[in-house]
Amino acid sequence: MLLLDANLPGGGPVKTPAAVRAASPATRVLLLAAQVRHPAIAAAIASAADGLVTKDVSSQQVVAAIHAAVTGRRVIVMGSDPLKLGRDAGVVQLATLSDREREVLGMLATGWSTPRIARDWQVAESTVRSHVQNLLGKLDLHCKLEAAAFAWEHGVVTAASTTLGSATVPRMHSG
């Protein structure tokens, strides 16, 4: 387990987790950041880091985050109110989603229902519900409506990518 200060010079938050993974694939990397507003932190989490802990959380929260990361879970622990952190906090949260979860998020944001997604993917509705529950947990949201609002607020989908009644999947944005 490596607890890495995200303020390392020379692209530390992006380059170091990847280098650690190359040298020791089993090593977990957790970023420790003073602020979430640095785009490199989102990039690091999207690529190689196992999570992020802000420096304003308690030592107990840091220990809990380390334990979660060691077990293979993606972790984001922020002491400040995420709503005050702005768009960058959302970018960091989005980085924890799998490609399939991002796709579900975009579909929800453009009005797709669980049965419609299941039909389009030719999977059971329970599979779609599982993706929805996973993304709600990762984004710390409570319902599909909140998820849709989050997606629009953070640019996961745009008005240009939606057509009401269209059978096409909305164009997704990487962040």
Q: Across residues 111-116, what is the average pLDDT?
A: 92
pLDDT at residue 159, rounded to an integer: 54
The domain 99-161: what is its CATH number?
1.10.10.10
Domain residue limits, the chain: 2-94, 99-161
Residue 173 has pLDDT above 50, yes or no: no
Stated as kind and residue range, the H or E segment containing 5 is: strand 2-5
CATH class, 2-94 region: alpha beta
99-161: same fold as 2-94?
no
Using alpha carbons only, what angle is made at residue 135 by residues 137 and 145, rounded to the nearest 5 degrees?
90
Helices 125-139 and 144-153: crossing angle in degrees, nearest 10, is 60
Query: Residue 158: is its pLDDT beyond 80?
Result: no
Measured CA to CA, the distance from residue 142 to residue 90 in angstroms comes to 15
* pLDDT tens digit sequence for 12-57: 666 788 888 889 989 998 888 876 665 666 666 666 788 888 888 7
Q: pTM above 0.75?
A: no
